Structure 1
Amino acid sequence: MDCGDEPEMPEQQGGKRRCQRHTPKQIQELEAMFKICPHPDEKQRMQLSQDLGLEPRQIKFWFQNKRTQMKAHHERTDNCTLRAENDKVRCENIAMKEVLKNAICPSCGGPPTNEDSSVIEQELRMENARLKEELDRVSSFASKYLGRPITQLPLDQPLAMSPPDLSMRGYSNHGPSSSVHLDLLSGSSSTVIPFPFPAAVSEIEKPVMLDLATRAMEELIKLVQTDEPLWVKVGHDGREVLHLETYERIFPRPGQQFKYLDFHSEASRDSGVVTMNSTSLVDMFTDASKWAELFPTIVSNAKNIEVLATGIAGSKSGTLVLMYEELQVLSPVIPTREFCFLRYCHQIQEGLWAIVDVSVDYPGENQLASQSWRLPSGCLIQGMPNGCSKVNWVEHMEVDAKNRIHQLYRNLVHSGMAFGAQRWLSTLQRMCERFACLRVTGISSRDLEGVIPGPDGKRSMMTLAQRMVNNFCARITASNNHGHVWTNPSGFTDVGIRLTVYRSPGPSDYPSGLILSATTSIWLPLPSQRVFSYIKDAKTRAEWDVLSNGNSVQEVARITNGSHQGNCISMLRTLNSSQSNMLILQESCIDASVSLTAYATVDLPSLDMVMSGVDPSKIPLLPSGFAILPDGQPNGEGASTSSNPMGVASGSLVTVLFQLLVSSSPSAKLDIETVTTITQLINATVQQIKVSLNCPSI
């Protein structure tokens, strides 16, 4: 049992004071509070005093003693780790000396010459220097994040540490192969630029990273629980952004090295209810592939580099993962943001989870040429009795201010809406609704004509449509990791039409052969909801779909996959068309941050297989479509801006993507006629949309 630091009884004989023993319940409450907040303020101490029946000074001294105890524990752990490593190297050193004593020259069978000994000695000196450099790097790492250096050994005791494997590891992407260099117009080529992931985190760095993650967790919980003046509401939608002066006062970082002079801060907060239980959410958040599947419009690449700590007793609580992710906005002119970061998961109490992300510089030679840095960010997930979860999301990053953003998207990015908490949470809500619809076994009465016969066919159709949306999002962005570089041919101004070409090995995901992609972005003086409703509607498709040749389009089946009527999967048929054996698979989705419509042609035999419940993973798709974003201009502000040339209150940013299978031959070459065809096609589509929406002069 713990003892308080203040006397509760009069002095006893011999001048000694009897200490007040805390009850098990009091200790349990204090321990629980310490996990959430190791440094309670006066108000919190007074509340604990009232709840537990202890004096405020007892509460204060208990927390002081607990912090001292934890600090001593960490230092003992550091010392034990370093001592074990040092003993290991000393044994290896002795063994090497014994081997050198008995070394035999392979040529003559005698002892090695002085020249050989000199070479071996020189190699050992070089190895010593390398190990010392590695020790300096780890010590710097510890000082940077812990605020104190790791306890070091005497200089005459060399530190043993296996250096990270700096060999290149190819990052596995799910896009088509682009290992073949293809000339496109001015000589650009489609290449993959992988991030060289390290082989393993050294044992000495793991406790450092755990300490960093624990501190980040403490900060995240405070950010969620604290309101004004730390957070202020801005804009007509009541978005919450961080008040930086208050933040720096509450969370001082003396000697902080990762806030650079040319960086500016983006920090936002949002909360809402999602239709998924807390356990399932935590499971998806700690697996990079599931994480990317949950946020296809935001996460273009994700990978678990290494699991540094597993959960306690089979739980996810205590899980620490070193991860990599690349974040995107659905446009080829907005640079993606790459992060190497720690993700730490902690169960605060039954049904209440906290998940925090924080960037790390790791490893030295393999650092990302990153223009962004994630400060403690993440979410608190509270399970609800109805199987849903309340999520409080905090997004905080620092971004290089020198990173140029195209004028069309400056308001969206600089407002923080492009990568902010509102976008993450609205996407999570929409995707959780989609997963809930996927689990429903019945067929909705909204499904037309009874075309989809049963729940297996519905699930297969939804799985195929999700893969189509994922491929669409992967191809429309500026990510080099997907194996393409957009080229803006001469003769086009502003955003213009950007092109890329790649070879697909097929047969799954994409058709086999040479594929040409074309994209452009435009601004329209209309709300994004209006533009989305027009594009997704089968009744108006013939107005902009040049390939329909003016023939009307009929919806033959629909699967609703969300509370908003715009979230649905449709099968469309072009009437009076010569291609009677082809249908159009289309998925439309919308939330507060983005709306998109992706579509691809599928032949009838393949669709029959899908509707019968067969696994659709081998059916190739070549998606095209539209991504529609708000322009970031607050409502009520009528001043003209660079991304708002008409000076109206707000508008939408529309990105169009067309993809064309040039040839199924693996040795096909791209010709200028094909480039001309696809540019004319995308130009005609954009003009038709402008005319139909009564904004032809834009």
Structure 2
Amino acid sequence: MFDPDMFHTLHPHPHHHMFDMAFNTSGNELEHVRDDDFESKSGPEITFEPPCESDHQQRSKKRRYNRHTHHQIQEMEAFFKECPHPDDKQRMDLSRELGLEPLQVKFWFQNKRTQMKAQQERHENAILKAENEKLRAENTRYREAFAHSTCPNCGSSATALGEMSFDDQHLRIENSRLRDEIERMSGYGLKSTKSVPSSYYHLPSNAPQSSGFVGEMYGACDFLRSISRPSEADKPIIVELAVSGMEELSRMAQAGEPLWVPADTKSSEVVLNETEYLSCFGGTVGPKPLGFRTEASRVSAIVFMNHIKLMDILMDATQWSTVFCGIVSRASTVDVLSPGLPGNFNGALHLMSAEFQVPSPLVPTRENYFVRYCKQQGDGVWVVADVSLDTLRPCSMPRTRRRPSGCLIQQLPNGYSKITWVEHFEADETGVPTMYRPLFNSGLAFGAKRWVATLDRQSERFATSIATSISTGDLRVISSIDGRKSMLKLAERMVTSFCAGVGASSVHAWTALPIAAGDDVRVVTRKSTDEPGRPPGVVLSAATSFWIPVPPKVVFDFLRKEKSRSEWDILSNGGLVQEMAHIANGRHSGNCVSLLRVNSANSSQSNMLILQESCTDSTGSYVIYAPVDTVAMNVVLTGCDPDYVALLPSGFAILPDGPAGANGGEILELGSGGSLITVAFQILVDSVPTARLSIGSVATVNSLIKCTVERIRAAVMREKP
């Protein structure tokens, strides 16, 4: 059983529930090239003449050199500008024209390419050096300001947040921003960053095999960072694909039968008639791969958000991945081929990459490289289409293919919009765990219903964040507009961080630790140093997913209510949990941001606060929380910037098990059977980033999550109607 005293001995810091992710890339080492090897010389150029003798003769004789004439160099320079990589035929033609051997031409071009590469790297190094000087100057300025810093709202001196002050956090944020700029300019992240080897932590050689080396948050193959900008030759192809994909999506969003047919007589949902689809659009991206399953869905809904705000979200990768963080674990804009007309996104073409997820470390993610095309099709009608570009970067073993997908937006009065969402995947689901198969078969895993339900819930949350009329009848309601905005912003970062780290992303190297028959815990480590909004040290993240024959609503209500928290939260030590403040986030009472206080018998935790956000819709629910410092939250509630508050979020994702329960029983209503629950914790095992991870830390976290799962199972089974 889990021993709480052992845990608090391991880590007395209040930030003990955690799950987050960090990004890294791996790349090839830069070649070490002597500058003087490639300095431009006056006069004829000297190039190595490859000998024809045997290996023995080559070793015994001196190398022979041949001086190219000025005319030969001039001709090859001109050809290099047009084609730096000539093929065999081109090299033969050049050799005949210039009176050189083909190998001489080949080696000249190799040398020229190496020379250009060295010059480029010297230029990038100069930029990097200048940026480093700028960073050092910024560090000096902020350190001087830190000694005399005050809070901009109250005028008092800066107060420590755990082990670091708000100004220290501000310094970390500024340093992180500058570091990102340097990496973007120098290409450092793609060229010379290496994955930290798993042996870094030096676990004991006699450690059990099941809990040996723990994985790290650095993937062996990072899909998003491996994509480069398209070549000039690819751009006309991309435009052509975008136009044809836009046409296909527009027709699919508005067509009726026979393209879309009713799912059954009792439901308003429709399913795609694949035969009719192939006759209309089969040639767009080719036939469905053998063994792949089609997932096609279309859903319409009215959301409380105007069309301009919707397009702002969809055309910005950061906003898009934040709003849909439960579905989009990561996203980036690779290139902007067209920004669209000034004032709107009509005609915008953005090249993007994204990783789609189900919130579980057991379910493989889906990666997609696509062009997002936004077009106004009429008065108040817009279409945003995603068209896959995976054919431009073929993969040896593709697991999924996303056909044209996206949404049609119709402007309505009073700030509302009607959304028609189409999602169309073809996927090989051999890697999907058995208990998640019904969820995929129902279309809830990556279907249009999940996208629209998430957007509807987020539109209510957005309305809450900009609300100015607030009822003050309940003393727990935060009446300060600035305080509400600051707390909601902090909660949004907490939820986004949790969702980004809970899935089976390619940047995670999960290690499985068996805990029970049919269950296992996945663990991963991260070293936090100058990451803004996170406490420094070694963080151990653990997650597991399991099925339980209880409806999702029952599980959600049990986990979100503060009165039942002592039944599962081991680290609260059975203390009474009270809600100090809350912000309603929509019509459903479960959509709420709360500030909880744990009145623990342990005096060292008597002042601990917990920031919690619970949210639910027809496709899934979340309960996400993080311990926060009391002083920090008091400052946040005055309206100060919450980016200074260090968070390590933990929590639960609750999904319906599909139209049929995992036990094979007949379920008449979707989601009325069982629940798929993912539990994720984060533990700050050492406040020193360079510390080694001990086997005892891994065993403690494994025991913690195992006991939590057992407590939840026992408690919700008693709650089952």
What TM-score do you get using the length of structure 1 for normalisation? 0.72
Residues 640-666 of structure 1: per-residue CA shift (max 9 Å, x gap): 43999xxx9721111111111000012
Are 1:129 and 2:84 counterparts?
A: no
SS of alignment partner, residue 459 of structure 2 = helix
Q: Measured at CA, do residues 289 and 122 of structure 1 come closer, stay the same or move farther in structure 2, by a change above 3 Å? A: closer
Q: C-alpha displacement at 1:122, in angstroms? A: 11
Q: Contact 2:368/2:390 (CA < 8 Å) preserved in 1?
A: no
Q: Contact 2:554/2:719 (CA < 8 Å) preserved in 1?
A: no
Residues 122-142 of structure 1: per-residue CA shift (max 9 Å, x gap): 989983329999xxxxxxxxx
Q: 1:424 aligns with which of 438, 451, 460?
A: 451
Q: Measured at CA, do residues 486 and 111 of structure 1 come closer, stay the same or move farther in structure 2, by a change above 3 Å? A: closer
Are 1:512 and 2:536 counterparts?
A: yes
Task: Give the AA of the match of 1:651.
Answer: G
Give the match for residue 552 of structure 1: 576
Q: Contact 2:581/2:595 (CA < 8 Å) preserved in 1?
A: yes
Q: 1:675 aligns with which of 686, 698, 703?
A: 698
Task: Give the AA of the match of 1:376.
Answer: P
Give the match for residue 248 of structure 1: 278
Q: Where in structure 2 are there 5+ consecutive unaligned residues? A: 1-41, 48-64, 92-112, 122-182, 204-210
Q: C-alpha displacement at 1:308, in angstroms? A: 1.1
Are 1:525 and 2:549 counterparts?
A: yes
Give the match for residue 463 of structure 1: 489
Q: C-alpha displacement at 1:511, in angstroms? A: 1.4
Q: Measured at CA, do residues 558 and 178 of structure 1 come closer, stay the same or move farther in structure 2, by a change above 3 Å? A: farther
Q: Measured at CA, do residues 347 and 295 of structure 1 come closer, stay the same or move farther in structure 2, by a change above 3 Å? A: same
CA distance in 2, matches of 1:602, 1:231: 50
Q: 1:239 aligns with which of 258, 269, 275?
A: 269
Give the match for residue 314 of structure 2: 285
Residues 462-486 of structure 1: per-residue CA shift (max 9 Å, x gap): 00011111111112111123xx222
Q: Contact 1:458/1:611 (CA < 8 Å) preserved in 2?
A: yes
Q: C-alpha displacement at 1:696, in angstroms? A: 11
CA distance in 1, matches of 2:526, 2:326: 22
Give the match for residue 415 of structure 2: 387
Identity rate of aligned residues, in percent?
A: 42
Q: C-alpha displacement at 1:668, in angstroms? A: 1.4
Task: Give the AA of the match of 2:558.
Answer: Y
Within a 5 Å distance, the mapping from 1:32-181 to structure 2 comes to 104-105=44-45, 112=69, 127-129=85-87, 179=196, 181=198
Q: 1:593 aligns with which of 619, 629, 644?
A: 619
Q: 2:633 aligns with which of 607, 610, 621?
A: 607
CA distance in 2, matches of 1:342, 1:542: 48
Give the match for residue 371 of structure 1: 399
Give the match for residue 715 of structure 2: 692
SS of alignment partner, residue 511 of structure 2 = coil
Q: Contact 1:506/1:620 (CA < 8 Å) preserved in 2?
A: no
Give the match for residue 657 of structure 1: 680
Q: Contact 1:407/1:643 (CA < 8 Å) preserved in 2?
A: no
Task: Give the AA of the match of 2:527.
Answer: R
Task: Give the AA of the match of 1:562.
Answer: G
CA distance in 2, matches of 1:130, 1:466: 57
Within a 5 Å distance, the mapping from 1:243-392 to structure 2 comes to 243-253=273-283, 257=286, 259-361=288-390, 363-364=392-393, 370-392=398-420
SS of alignment partner, residue 427 of structure 2 = strand
Task: Give the AA of the match of 2:536.
Answer: S
Residues 141-195 of structure 1: per-residue CA shift (max 9 Å, x gap): xxxxxxxxxxxxxxxxxxxxx9xx9x9987989xxx9857455733353124433
Residues 310-361 of structure 1: per-residue CA shift (max 9 Å, x gap): 3134431111111101011111101110000011100112221011111013
Are 1:436 and 2:393 counterparts?
A: no
Q: Contact 1:320/1:343 (CA < 8 Å) preserved in 2?
A: yes
Residues 272-323 of structure 1: per-residue CA shift (max 9 Å, x gap): 0111100111121111111111111111111111111231344311111111
SS of alignment partner, residue 315 of structure 1 = coil
CA distance in 2, matches of 1:629, 1:267: 20
Q: Measured at CA, do residues 551 and 356 of structure 1 come closer, stay the same or move farther in structure 2, by a change above 3 Å? A: same
Q: Measured at CA, do residues 363 and 211 of structure 1 come closer, stay the same or move farther in structure 2, by a change above 3 Å? A: closer
Give the match for residue 48 of structure 1: none
Task: Give the AA of the match of 1:393.
Answer: W
Q: Contact 2:486/2:640 (CA < 8 Å) preserved in 1?
A: yes
Task: Give the AA of the match of 1:600.
Answer: A
Task: Give the AA of the match of 1:373.
Answer: R
Give the match for residue 207 of structure 2: none
Q: C-alpha displacement at 1:209, in angstroms? A: 1.5
Q: Measured at CA, do residues 687 and 448 of structure 1 come closer, stay the same or move farther in structure 2, by a change above 3 Å? A: farther
Within a 5 Å distance, the mapping from 1:200-215 to structure 2 comes to 200-215=229-244
What TM-score do you get using the length of structure 2 for normalisation? 0.70
Q: What root-mean-square deviation, in Å, do the aligned CA atoms of Structure 1 and Structure 2 show?
A: 3.6
Q: Contact 1:338/1:368 (CA < 8 Å) preserved in 2?
A: no
Q: Measured at CA, do residues 576 and 370 of structure 1 come closer, stay the same or move farther in structure 2, by a change above 3 Å? A: same
Residues 403-432 of structure 1: per-residue CA shift (max 9 Å, x gap): 321111111123321000000000011111
Give the match for residue 219 of structure 1: 248
Q: Mean alpha-carbon deviation: is it higher for 239-248 or for 105-114? A: 105-114
Task: Give the AA of the match of 1:391.
Answer: I
Residues 192-222 of structure 1: per-residue CA shift (max 9 Å, x gap): 4433455532333323221211111111111
Q: Measured at CA, do residues 614 and 639 of structure 1 come closer, stay the same or move farther in structure 2, by a change above 3 Å? A: closer
Q: C-alpha displacement at 1:234, in angstroms? A: 3.0
Q: 1:495 aligns with which of 503, 506, 519?
A: 519
CA distance in 1, matches of 2:551, 2:558: 11
CA distance in 1, matches of 2:325, 2:574: 33
SS of alignment partner, residue 621 of structure 1 = coil
Q: Contact 1:584/1:602 (CA < 8 Å) preserved in 2?
A: yes
CA distance in 2, matches of 1:597, 1:494: 24
* RCO higher in structure (CA 8 A, sep ≥6): 2
Q: C-alpha displacement at 1:104, in angstroms? A: 2.9
Within a 5 Å distance, the mapping from 1:176-187 to structure 2 comes to 179=196, 181=198, 182-183=200-201, 185-187=211-213
CA distance in 1, matches of 2:474, 2:493: 21
SS of alignment partner, residue 574 of structure 2 = coil
Q: C-alpha displacement at 1:543, in angstroms? A: 1.3
Task: Give the AA of the match of 1:500.
Answer: V
